[in-house]
A and B are shown apart, each in its own frame.
Chain A
Amino acid sequence: MSDLTVDDLADVRAGDKGDTLILAVLPRDGEAYAVLERDLTPEAVARHFAVTEPVVRTELPHLPALVFRVPAVLAGGVTGYSGLDGHGKSLGYHLLMLRLDRTP
């Protein structure tokens, strides 16, 4: 385990659709994209958010960006969840705290 986190390499924008959390990961350059493409796997994101349903990753190398679709994580979403952040807007910053397993 290294000290490198997603926050060192990328920005994250969180969005929601019902119970699904959508995380757009925006690496700050091509090198960062390569590291994240290798190490920020759908499985790593699923573990970080403690979900059992599969996480889907879309790769957009030309932007560059990775989009993660994390299902069944928002506990009812904006109208179903009684907690303050039903959208899960702050959860993008939880992904920024993910420690990457390997160093570049």
Chain B
Amino acid sequence: MGLVIRLGAGAGFAGDRIDPAVELARDGALDYLVFECLGERTVAAGQLRRLADPDGGYDPLLEARMRAVLPVIEPGQTRIITNSGAANPIAAGRRVADVARALDRPTRVAVVTGDDALETVRRLDPVVWETGEPLSTSTEELVSANAYLGAEGIRLALADGPDVVVTGRVADPALYLGPLQHEFGWAADNWPLLAAGTVVGHLLECAGQLTGGYFADPGTKPVPGLARLGFPFADVRPDGTATLGKLDGSGGRLDVRTATEQLLYEVDRPEAYLTPDVVANFSGVSFREAGPDRVEVAGASGAARPDDLKVTLGFRGGWLGEGQISYAGPRALARAELAAEIVRERLADVHGIAPDAIGVELIGAGAAFRGLAPATEPLEVRLRVTARTADATQAHTVGWEVESLYTNGPAGGGGARTGIQQSLVVRSCLVPRDLVSPTVTLMEER
């Protein structure tokens, strides 16, 4: 075991770029390459895919990612950890083994399961956060329940010496904390060290967001080379302090400003960031620039982990139908508003859609700010009408009514587009942690 462990970020979300991970895998001298590819919606969407195909339900880009990185990593030197297993970690593990065999790269794959809590929540009937009511009172069909596992399963899996660890629902920072615990032997109740590892994980988990992605603003925060943005790595020491970095010559920037923004991203209580492993306190964390694109991080503290685990519940939410059309030039806003009134009236009166299920956005006239800022007369407005419906046929009527504005609505409408999609409602609840435990399965090397 070296004194420093280098963790690299290979993906910050399911749809992330692949080439920055390849660069990091090839030139980064990594000990671990971590692909974070699972959000609350992604896991529930994976469950829907698995219901349609028992061998599906994992990240659709998993195979492409493995094909790209397995040939460039040093076997036995860089290990891969990913939550790409999503709703079907075992099938994902098999897929990774298949890819490795096709590439003629001997690869040991370990799979962490145990996050599926569907039977547990059906039995416990916990209170759903968003409704304040017991789960059994929900009217929509529950299709999935996935508990956020901590680092334990990954730590256990790494003890078997795999080249790739595939998980389902695991708290994002735990993907990084697991290897640190494994390498440094951090105890499962050493709250300050677990908090330090969690801070490193939180900083890396969104990959390019630490190196200038989602930070860039040409006016106030210029970032060079975003088209070839380099993903970050961290050199972590046994005391939990770390140096953040990115490959020389890659695009982006890594400095105290990008690190500070990422530290606070999606953190509502910096003094108590809840994870399955520790309640991390970010409020004493500080950064120091240690060279070009190198930032030192220190100062995390922590308290005992929560007794309950958060569970993401996925429900079938019916259908969402939509239609869009543009109006430009004089009175664009007034014509778009007239069009919206017509569609609203038709959807309610002709198609029987409840008025409160219909949504209208005037894109270009402040839709993103949801009416909070006064709209000025724009050069063009794009009307978007949506409606939530019980079935697909009714969802189709939304686009139909928008499209029929061509010959029945205000002057000059153009570029109509329509669509429907099955919607998925995601909610949350808690379950006692002793009802959920990770299991490690080693894929047979064939």
Interface residues of A (CB under 8 A from B): 7, 11, 13, 15-20, 22, 24, 26, 48-50, 58, 60, 62-63, 65, 67, 69, 75, 78-80, 82-85, 90-91, 94, 97
B221 CB-CB contact with A under 8 Å: yes
- Of all chain B residues, the one with the shortest Cβ separation from A17 is B268
Interface residues of B (CB under 8 A from A): 40-41, 44, 129-130, 214-215, 217, 220-221, 257, 260-261, 263-271, 283-284, 286-287, 317, 320, 359, 361, 363, 367-370, 372-373, 384, 386-388, 423-426, 428
State whether A26 and B260 are in contact (beta carbons under 8 Å apart), knowing that A83-B370, A91-B369 are contacts in the complex: yes
State whether A79 and B424 are in contact (beta carbons under 8 Å apart), knowing that A13-B265, A24-B264, A24-B265 are contacts in the complex: yes
B220–A11 CB distance below 8 A:
yes
Q: Which of A18, A19, A24 contacts B261 (CB 8 A)?
A: A24
Q: Tell me, rounded to whole Å, the shortest Cβ–Cβ distance linking B306 to chain A.
A: 15
B359–A83 CB distance below 8 A:
yes
Q: Tell me, rounded to whole Å, the shortest Cβ–Cβ distance linking B357 to chain A.
A: 8
Alpha-carbon gap, A94 to B265, bound state (A): 17
Q: Which of A17, A49, A97 contacts B266 (CB 8 A)?
A: A17
Contacts of B267 in A (CB 8 A): 15, 22, 24, 67
B286–A62 CB distance below 8 A:
yes
Q: Tell me, rounded to whole Å, the shortest Cβ–Cβ distance linking A50 to chain B.
A: 6
Contacts of A26 in B (CB 8 A): 257, 260-261, 264
A18–B428 CB distance below 8 A:
yes
27 interchain pairs, CB-CB under 8 A: A11-B217, A11-B221, A11-B261, A13-B264, A16-B266, A22-B266, A22-B268, A24-B261, A24-B264, A24-B265, A26-B257, A26-B264, A60-B270, A60-B283, A62-B286, A63-B286, A65-B264, A79-B40, A79-B41, A79-B44, A79-B425, A82-B320, A82-B386, A82-B388, A84-B361, A84-B368, A91-B368
A63–B260 CB distance below 8 A:
yes
Alpha-carbon gap, A5 to B318, bound state (A): 42
A84–B264 CB distance below 8 A:
no
Q: Tell me, rounded to whole Å, the shortest Cβ–Cβ distance linking B127 to chain A.
A: 14
- Of all chain B residues, the one with the shortest Cβ separation from A66 is B264
Alpha-carbon gap, A75 to B359, bound state (A): 12
Alpha-carbon gap, A97 to B268, bound state (A): 21
Contacts of B384 in A (CB 8 A): 83-84
Contacts of A75 in B (CB 8 A): 370
Contacts of B269 in A (CB 8 A): 58, 69
Q: Tell me, rounded to whole Å, the shortest Cβ–Cβ distance linking B155 to chain A.
A: 27
Contacts of A49 in B (CB 8 A): 372
A50–B372 CB distance below 8 A:
yes
Contacts of A83 in B (CB 8 A): 359, 361, 367, 370, 384, 386
Contacts of A50 in B (CB 8 A): 372
A94–B369 CB distance below 8 A:
yes
B367–A69 CB distance below 8 A:
no
Q: Which of A48, A65, A94 contacts B260 (CB 8 A)?
A: A65
Q: Which of B271, B373, B386 contacts A97 (CB 8 A)?
A: B373
Alpha-carbon gap, A51 to B70, bound state (A): 50
Q: Which of A13, A15, A60, A79 contacts B426 (CB 8 A)?
A: A79
B261–A13 CB distance below 8 A:
yes
Q: Tell me, rounded to whole Å, the shortest Cβ–Cβ distance linking B289 to chain A.
A: 14
A7–B220 CB distance below 8 A:
yes
Q: Tell me, rounded to whole Å, the shortest Cβ–Cβ distance linking B169 to chain A.
A: 16
Contacts of A17 in B (CB 8 A): 266, 268
- Of all chain B residues, the one with the shortest Cβ separation from A7 is B220
- Of all chain B residues, the one with the shortest Cβ separation from A12 is B261
Most buried by A among B130, B264, B270, B372: B264
Contacts of B284 in A (CB 8 A): 62
Alpha-carbon gap, A20 to B179, bound state (A): 32
Q: Tell me, rounded to whole Å, the shortest Cβ–Cβ distance linking A75 to chain B.
A: 7
Contacts of B372 in A (CB 8 A): 48-50, 94
Q: Tell me, rounded to whole Å, the shortest Cβ–Cβ distance linking B236 to chain A.
A: 21
Alpha-carbon gap, A20 to B367, bound state (A): 19
Q: Tell me, rounded to whole Å, the shortest Cβ–Cβ distance linking B118 to chain A.
A: 18
Q: Tell me, rounded to whole Å, the shortest Cβ–Cβ distance linking B285 to chain A.
A: 8
Alpha-carbon gap, A31 to B71, bound state (A): 51
Alpha-carbon gap, A20 to B261, bound state (A): 18
B369–A90 CB distance below 8 A:
yes
State whether A84 and B363 are in contact (beta carbons under 8 Å apart), knowing that A7-B220, A24-B264, A26-B257 are contacts in the complex: yes
- Of all chain A residues, the one with the shortest Cβ separation from B214 is A13
State whether A82 and B261 are in contact (beta carbons under 8 Å apart), knowing that A19-B130, A58-B271 are contacts in the complex: no
Alpha-carbon gap, A80 to B320, bound state (A): 11
Q: Tell me, rounded to whole Å, the shortest Cβ–Cβ distance linking A22 to chain B.
A: 5
Alpha-carbon gap, A97 to B220, bound state (A): 14
Contacts of B263 in A (CB 8 A): 63
- Of all chain B residues, the one with the shortest Cβ separation from A71 is B268
Alpha-carbon gap, A24 to B367, bound state (A): 22
